[in-house]
Chains A and B, each alone.
Chain A
């Protein structure tokens, strides 16, 4: 075990403990999942952004390694997107009385799950590896652009139950913001670790297939 891994283990343990001490978030029912749902949603975007960056890199250099990293980031993004949906539904039940109310953001994240689900359908249905990599690279760009549209622009156009800038807009006490940032940093580190492991494991699989 490396030092940073040990620090991450303790870090997230403290974040979980502190989240259950329930610092008040103005305008919302205090509930620990508040410190997990937004960070997980942010990491989803980071993952889809990474998928797009490696997709663009593949289109420029045609290096299969970039395609591998792009698809791995998309895989993890889909996992974190699912976690964001589940934690969001739990928080929705506490705040608004129902797990799902087709709020613009809830609808958007559902569409996002479908978009990235289709990414893997596209990947598995294209037999030619070069064609598959190129198609998926282009799709990852469209996927990220639609993610930004769906999650940041569309919910702000109409009415949304989701509060705006509650955690970061200076309305809540400083510990709330600090805990939120600590949680986001922790989940980002978990994503980076998982990404690194998944890429190395996929690379080994490919080497094994070649040999």
Chain B
């Protein structure tokens, strides 16, 4: 394999690595945001029908 092909392979690998890393962060953020929304959601009062 030529020198240029090796560098191209490494550059493509770096891009694929960065791409997958960003996708992973996006997934984690979505999960955290969902969890944060669930925590901050005001809980339904159970005794409304009694009043």
Contacts and interface: CB of A to CB of B under 8 A. Distances in A.
A175 interface: no
A17 B22 CA distance: 21
Contacts, number: 47
Given A1-B23, A197-B25, A197-B26, A16 B15 contact: yes
Q: Chain B binding site: helix, strand, loop or mixed by DSSP?
A: helix
A1 B11 CA distance: 22
Interface residues of A, number: 20
Contacts of B7: 20, 32
B11 to A, nearest CB: 5
B8 A20 contact: yes
Interface of B: 4-5, 7-8, 11-12, 15-16, 18-19, 22-23, 25-26, 29, 32-33, 36, 39-40
Interface of A: 1, 5, 8-9, 12-13, 16-17, 20, 32, 190, 193-194, 197, 200-201, 204, 207-208, 211
